[in-house]
Each structure stands twice: as structure tokens, then as C-alpha cells.
């Protein structure tokens, strides 16, 4: 049987540590104790006792002092850590969601791989073959296939065009993000095809990158356009002689985001079956179904 810890000594050590950190934070910012007292509403005498490790400080008082110093209260309570680590922690908290996601992926790639499960998402412009290849890939690998827009339409009970007309792009993007989370929660292994514009919404795209092994299906602008027309969709060209230039512009503006995918497959000059074979090889080599990094 081990001896019980000396809680009295532990408490004294903790109070001394907290007091030292409060004092150093105040001095670092050049704030006199009386000014800190005015900012926090804590009496100068109480602050003096706190900084010298005397007495027991309440959580409420410590929160007020930390707020007045612009410090996070956990910095005053945590075990010793290097100033650089504290600085990095503050920068991480202040960063936007895409930056935080990239930092987590760099620092803990194995956790990122586990979070993606065996879920594969195909991204790219219209005409890339996401739906056709995604459906065939699902059949080949015996995985369920879901088209994101079809899922959104099924949940909302109306076509995407009507959703956008009713709620605008912002409303549609919220539905898109919700659908991605719902689909990921409901499938450990699957193939998902998403709309090409998903990269325009950073937080939604970050969610996709975090929860799916993503593959960018790319092709030349001319092939993108030809495939859309072959599907019977003449809208890109109808009354718009500059359609091809616009398509090139869209592709150029999105390339950097598409390139963040876990893998890229160029389908230019390749038929459906050849592209499918290439896609299966890519998924296998990348280990997307066996815990690969994505």
C-alpha cells in the first residue's frame, strides 16, 4: 500500500507556482499591482498574497486576474511549459478553422488518417467524372456510393437549384456542410462525389479533407467542357462564346485548393474503364482502404 500524497504540500506548491506566474505576467506587461487591482476588481492586498503564494485563491478570482492580464487561466494552472509552446498555443486558438485543421494534420497525421476511416471523396470540376467513376468505384470495391447533391435534395425535399434560389449560396453551403458531417457519421467506408464548388467554402472543405480521403479528378478544360456537352447539358455553351475562357478561369482559381486533396488522378485522354482501373490502383497504392494517410 502506497502512502497517501501530502495534499498540503501539493497545494502550497501549486499556489506558489500560480503566484509566480501571475507576478511574471504582470511584470512582463509593465502593469503595477494597483492597476491590476483596478482592472480585475481584486484588492491590492489579495493580489500581494496571491503573488507570494499565500492563502487559497478561488477559481473566480483567478479568472478575473487572468482576464485582466490578457492571459488564459489554464496557463496559470498548467504544468511548466516552454514560452514558445504557450505562444504556439495562443496562435493556434486565434487561427481560423482551415489553419487549425492543417496544424492538426501535420502534428498528428495518424489521427487524421483514423478520422477519415475508409471514406473516399472525389472532387473536381463538372465533367471530371466524379459521379460516373464514383458509382463504378463503389461497385468495384463493394462500397456504398453517395452523391452529395442527391443527399442534400433528399433531405430537403427540393432540387439544389431551388434551394439556392430560396436560401442563397450561403444557406446551401450550410446544408452542404451538415450533409457531409451526417454522411461521414453514418459510413465508415464509402465513396462520395461532391460538387466542384465545395472548395469555395473553406470550413466545409476542411471538414471534407479531415473526414474523407480526397481524390482530385482532373482533366483539360476542353475535356471538361466536352464531357458536360456529351451528357446533354448545353448550358455552359448556350449563348456564351466566352464559356471556355470562363471555365479555364474557374479551374485556375480553384487549382490550389483542389491540389490539397490526398491524391490526384488525371483522366485526360482516358476512357471511363481505363480511368476506373487507374482509380482503383491509386486507392490501393495510397492505402485509403487500409488506414493510409490520405
pLDDT tens by residue, the chain, 294 residues: 445 456 667 777 778 888 888 888 888 777 888 888 888 888 888 888 888 887 677 767 777 887 777 777 666 766 555 566 666 766 776 676 567 667 766 766 555 567 888 999 999 988 788 999 999 999 999 999 999 999 999 988 888 888 888 888 888 888 898 899 999 999 999 999 998 889 888 888 988 998 999 999 988 777 767 766 766 554 544 455 566 777 778 778 888 888 899 899 998 888 889 999 999 999 999 899 885 555
pLDDT at residue 108 in the model: 61
pLDDT at residue 39 in the model: 83
**Cell numbers at residue 293, please?**
494517410
Distance CA 112, CA 158 (A): 34
Q: How many CA atoms lie within 13 A of 260 on its CB side?
A: 18
pTM higher than the cut 0.75: no
Distance CA 285, CA 269 (A): 22
Distance CA 294, CA 291 (A): 8
Report DSSP state, residue 198.
Answer: G
- What CA dihedral angle connects 148, 154, 159 and 160, to 10 degrees? -30
Taking only Cα atoms into account, the Rg of the chain, rounded to an integer number of angstroms, comes to 27
pLDDT at residue 143 in the model: 96
Q: Mind listing the domains of the chain with CATH numbers? A: 7-83 (1.10.260.40), 99-286 (3.40.50.300)
pLDDT at residue 81 in the model: 54
Distance CA 146, CA 244 (A): 29
Distance CA 294, CA 292 (A): 6
Report DSSP state, residue 1.
Answer: -
**Cell numbers at residue 70, please?**
490578457
pLDDT at residue 246 in the model: 75
Bridge partners of 145?
191
3-state helix, strand, coil in the chain (%, to 5): 65, 10, 30
Helix or strand run (H / E) with residue 117? none
Bridge partners of 216?
123, 264
Amino acid at each position: 500500500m502506497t502512502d497517501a500524497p501530502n495534499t498540503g504540500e501539493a497545494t502550497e506548491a501549486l499556489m506558489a507556482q500560480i503566484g509566480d506566474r501571475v507576478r511574471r505576467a504582470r511584470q512582463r506587461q509593465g502593469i503595477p499591482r494597483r492597476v491590476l487591482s483596478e482592472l480585475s476588481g481584486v484588492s491590492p492586498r489579495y493580489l500581494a498574497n496571491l503573488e507570494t503564494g499565500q492563502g487559497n485563491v478561488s477559481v473566480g478570482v483567478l479568472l478575473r486576474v487572468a482576464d485582466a492580464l490578457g492571459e488564459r487561466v489554464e496557463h496559470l494552472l498548467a504544468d511548466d511549459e516552454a514560452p514558445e509552446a504557450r505562444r504556439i498555443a495562443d496562435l493556434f486558438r486565434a487561427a481560423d478553422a482551415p489553419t487549425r485543421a492543417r496544424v492538426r494534420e501535420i502534428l498528428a497525421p495518424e489521427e487524421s488518417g483514423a478520422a477519415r476511416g475508409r471514406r473516399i471523396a472525389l472532387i473536381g470540376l463538372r465533367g471530371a467524372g466524379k459521379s460516373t467513376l464514383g458509382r463504378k468505384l463503389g461497385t468495384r470495391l463493394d462500397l456504398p456510393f453517395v452523391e452529395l447533391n442527391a443527399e442534400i435534395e433528399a433531405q430537403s425535399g427540393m432540387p439544389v437549384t431551388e434551394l439556392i434560389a430560396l436560401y442563397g449560396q450561403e444557406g446551401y453551403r450550410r446544408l452542404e456542410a451538415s450533409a457531409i458531417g451526417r454522411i461521414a457519421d453514418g459510413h465508415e467506408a464509402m465513396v462520395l462525389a461532391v460538387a466542384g464548388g465545395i472548395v469555395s467554402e473553406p470550413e466545409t472543405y476542411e471538414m471534407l479533407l479531415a473526414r474523407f480521403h480526397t481524390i482530385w479528378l482532373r482533366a483539360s478544360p476542353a475535356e471538361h467542357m466536352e464531357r458536360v456537352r456529351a451528357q446533354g447539358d448545353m448550358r455552359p455553351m448556350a449563348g456564351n462564346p466566352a464559356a471556355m475562357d470562363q471555365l479555364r478561369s474557374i479551374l485556375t482559381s480553384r487549382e490550389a485548393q483542389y491540389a490539397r486533396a490526398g491524391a490526384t488522378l488525371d483522366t485526360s485522354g482516358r476512357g471511363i474503364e481505363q480511368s476506373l482501373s487507374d482509380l482503383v490502383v491509386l486507392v490501393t497504392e495510397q492505402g485509403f482502404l487500409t488506414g493510409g494517410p490520405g
